[in-house]
A and B are shown apart, each in its own frame.
Chain A
Amino acid sequence: MDIHSVDMNQKQQQLKTVSHQTIDILKVMAYTEDDLKKELETKEYEYGFYTDIESDTFPVGLNEEIVRAISKKKEEPEWMTEWRLEAFKVWVAMEEPEWANVKYEKPNFQDISYYSAPNKKPKYDSIDDVDPELLDTFKRLGISLDEQKKLAGVAVDIVMDSVSVATTFKKTLAEKGIIFCSISEAIKEHSELVKKYIGSVVPTKDNFYAALNSAVFSDGSFCYIPKGVRCPMELSTYFRINQAGTGQFERTLVIADEGSYVSYLEGCTAPSRDENQLHAAVVELIALDDAEIKYSTVQNWYPGNAEGKGGVFNFVTKRGICEKNAKISWTQVETGSAVTWKYPSCVLKGDNSVGEFYSIAVTNNYQQADTGTKMIHLGKNTKSTIISKGISAGKSQNSYRGLVQINSRAKNARNFSQCDSLLMGNDCGAHTFPYIEAKNKTAQIEHEATTSKIGEDQIFYCNQRGIDTEKAIALIVNGFSKEVLNKLPMEFAVEAQKLLEISLEGSVG
């Protein structure tokens, strides 16, 4: 802690200015190229601060005792403890997957602390009760609670080191019958809902990291939208890994009951550290008949420094199930993490259901990303759209891996996929691994992929009109990503756009 505190102070100073800028931008919404330039001057990972909050951390290692202890700590009912232990048994028998197109030193799972919580963890009724130091953290994150309240009316659930610390706007939501709380609270207070749906979309046996998460998840968000309710505001979760040597395993469960609608945002940051941190989350979405869920992610975990040292391993399982006429839409902007391994998927079970996936993945320096989606068409007249944009710079590797599966009963299923890659520099790689499986003659599937670089003529065109090269590239990258950026809620889109610029800063050769 001491080692960090010296240079951290400096950084914090610097960062404060940045985050104020962020807020200003949010207010005015006029974000010009000059603002960008100013921001680019602070080249460091801007969320790389470490908050000095005493936290309650478990000893490193994982065994049945730890699983029991986590469950006990969370004051969970018996069935939950059993469920975790079951998952743990499954996990022990599993092997870490190796098929992804990424290379990294495998984390030692006995070297991680599986539970870390900010120590003074009271139950807050209002924002004013929250530890001022924590609030300051959020301010620096650029998601100051008050600001958010005033500006966007976003209800935020903040998960720090795997434990949910604050849920805002709870009362307003409760009036509509919406439940938005931490998953541990939900396990206690809405156990019938949790019991019914947890593990129904991502079973504990699904994969290595899902099993690990099921055994040790410490917190996460839970959301239930009742029948026919249209959630009046964007719901948002913010994840942060703070403590050193911890892994973050959060679990998100979103249930949209018949005819309801919800838009859900998720953001992530972590402090700069030399060692790799592990993040293995599970997100389950359940869209019942006629419901719609829009799930947006801006992932900005610490990507490691320019030499590829440190950074977060991001191994996430995200999946949603659509019942009749339901719709799930995944939007993601992936700029962080040393290694990303993430495939938000849709199981289109009900007739006429719709799945969408919009993604921008940016890799720079030594980052590696293997990301994509799975669209499983089971019902009749199901539709899916995949738009994936990959931008690779520096020495990074960026892969799209996706599956479109049309089962024999999925009459008139329709899929459109487009994967575009942009390469900047000659040391990076862009890869596409689409899997297309059709078992029904009425299926219509289109898949397109292109790879290109920014054309010299395009830059020349901009230069001619008085736009310098750096700005021209920002402009072109923005245009390249527009289709996806447009799908994000406005406040997020601005942040995402900024992240894109920062991630690619200095990569122009």
Chain B
Amino acid sequence: MELKEKLLSSFIALENQVDIDSQVHDIRSEAIKNFEVMGFPSKKMEAWKYTSLNKVLKHDYSIFPKKEAALEFKDVKNYFLQDIDTYKIIFVDGKYSSHLSETTHDKIDVCLMSSALTHEKYKPVIDAYFNKVAVEDGMTSLNTAFSREGAYIHIPKHKLADKPIEIIHFSTSNEAAIMLQPRNLIVVDENAHVQIVERHQSLASHPVFTNSVTEIFVDKRAYVDYYKIQNDNEEASLVDNTFIEQQQESYCAVHTFSFGGDIIRNNLNFYQKGERIDSVLNGVTILEGKQHVDHNTLVNHIEPNCESHQDYKGIFDEKSTGVFNGKIIVEQEAQKTNAFQSNNNILLSDNATINSKPQLEIFADDVKCSHGCTIGQLDDAALFYMRSRGIAEKEARALLMYAFANNVLENVKIPQLKSRINKLIARKLGVSLGFDL
């Protein structure tokens, strides 16, 4: 059975498990109809020109995992942040794992989507925010139709999340092939502050296909710092759809570190709905093998006096493929916008490919917008300089690549996370450098 048909019939099964009289279910029914019409994206669509999901879609995925896998803390300890206390929302095969998690309802809500969707207490927030900024494309509609579980984070006015929040999705070898559709809602009220680290990790060698949707609402003067770590094995594919709505004077930064996976597609969309907003989009991509990473970003400047900064760096080896498709829209009202976008790439092999499509659509005249894109190699003169000073070629190359990615890394504001990412990069480049990266 085709995956699309399977999903459509699974929806009927889902209806037996959830409250079909709720408002949320109306949204689900609407979304499945939408998905039925649109289906999966194909290469014929401009936004998917360089990424084909065909390879991913041909597997026979199980949609609802049957039993909960037992996962011991010591087995997965390495995937958590070390030396720092965090809130944790952990899912195993799409199911919430209570003994691995650490949630809270003390002043802030860090809990589950499933309880938020069913408990009366959360209804005002769900009514106001659920599915309000997500667009109606095929993949997002599919997720909306099956939205049941995920992370729910609500930081009320003037509150500060006292420690970072980790959201980790594990998949195990319980099922042959599994499709996961987590749905996250993050609402950060006025003057509130939060740091979030998200990670998808497959522990099995079976194919895993994750279609994740995250909606983030950043109210006035709120502060959100979001890190996505994508270092999965070669059987795991991910379509990550993130939608962010910002109100005036707020700050939101999303840092995406893509080091592994089969096919990864990041749809990152920012909508600036107030004045003096700052949005930051950073990315480091280091790939080898046949990995494929597609960054598709949109920053929509709607109101005046806002800023956006995009900085994506990529290093591509062997047969890997990198895609960057960045779009900045400056609407007519959005005068005095400063929007910057830069995409720098290094190709290490003749079989690696880079497709870059940085786009600007500008309807206001008093703006400063620029984008830059480069594709090149490591500087021979710099390599020679280091080698003539006794640094081996491999280390010298690694140093240069590390330096290339460094200005993105410097923006990581959780020191423990920064050293973790540094270690990942060092391992990725196959070196141990003489200093603590």
Contact = CB atoms under 8 A, between A and B. Distances in A.
A contacts with B: majority SS:
strand
A448 B363 CA distance: 19
B29 interface: no
B377 A441 contact: yes
> Which of A406, A429, A441, A447 has the most chain B CB within a 10 Å cutoff?
A441
Contact of B361 (A429, A445, A447): A429
B355 A437 contact: yes
A446 B374 contact: yes
A449 B351 CA distance: 28
A429 B329 CA distance: 10
Given A426-B332, A429-B361, A452-B367, A442 B377 contact: yes
B379 to A, nearest CB: 11
A488 interface: no
Interface in B335-385: 335, 345, 347-377
Contact of A439 (B332, B353, B361): B353
Interface in A402-423: 406, 408, 421, 423
B375 A432 contact: no
Contact of A449 (B348, B352, B358, B365): B358
Contacts of A437: 353-356
B365 A436 contact: no
Given A434-B373, A436-B373, A450-B369, A441 B347 contact: yes
Contacts of B355: 435-438
A440 interface: yes
B357 A434 contact: yes
Given A431-B362, A444-B375, A445-B376, A438 B353 contact: yes
Contacts of B351: 408
Contacts of A435: 355-357
B377 A448 contact: no
Given A99-B46, A428-B365, A451-B367, A434 B372 contact: no
A453 B330 CA distance: 14
Given A431-B359, A433-B359, A441-B377, A448 B354 contact: no
A447 B376 contact: no
Interface residues of A, number: 35
A448 B372 contact: yes
A287 interface: no
A485 interface: no
A444 B367 contact: no
Contacts, number: 115
A62 B364 CA distance: 43
Contacts of A452: 367-369
Contacts of B349: 441
A334 B363 CA distance: 21
Given A445-B375, A447-B373, A449-B370, A432 B360 contact: yes
B51 to A, nearest CB: 13
Contacts of B332: 426-427
Given A425-B365, A433-B359, A441-B348, A449 B371 contact: yes
A427 B332 CA distance: 7
B50 to A, nearest CB: 8
A403 to B, nearest CB: 10
Interface in A292-320: none
Interface in B148-192: none
A430 interface: yes
Contacts of A450: 369-370
A408 B46 contact: no
A441 B354 CA distance: 10
Nearest to A403: B357
A351 B275 CA distance: 52
B362 A429 contact: yes
A386 interface: no
A443 interface: yes
A461 B230 CA distance: 52
> Which of B46, B335, B363, B370 has the most chain A CB within a 10 Å cutoff?
B363
A391 to B, nearest CB: 12
Given A438-B347, A441-B347, A441-B350, A453 B366 contact: yes
A250 to B, nearest CB: 32
A219 to B, nearest CB: 37
Nearest to B354: A438
Given A434-B357, A438-B347, A449-B372, A426 B365 contact: yes
A443 B347 CA distance: 8
Contacts of B374: 444-447
8 contacts: A406-B375, A423-B365, A426-B364, A431-B361, A431-B362, A434-B373, A445-B374, A445-B375
Given A406-B375, A423-B367, 16 more contacts: A423-B365, A432-B371, A434-B357, A435-B355, A435-B356, A436-B373, A439-B352, A441-B352, A441-B377, A444-B375, A447-B371, A448-B370, A449-B370, A449-B371, A449-B372, A451-B360
Interface of B: 46, 332, 335, 345, 347-377
Q: Which 10 A-B pairs have the closest CB atoms?
A: A423-B365, A441-B347, A447-B373, A445-B375, A436-B356, A451-B369, A432-B360, A450-B370, A453-B365, A429-B363
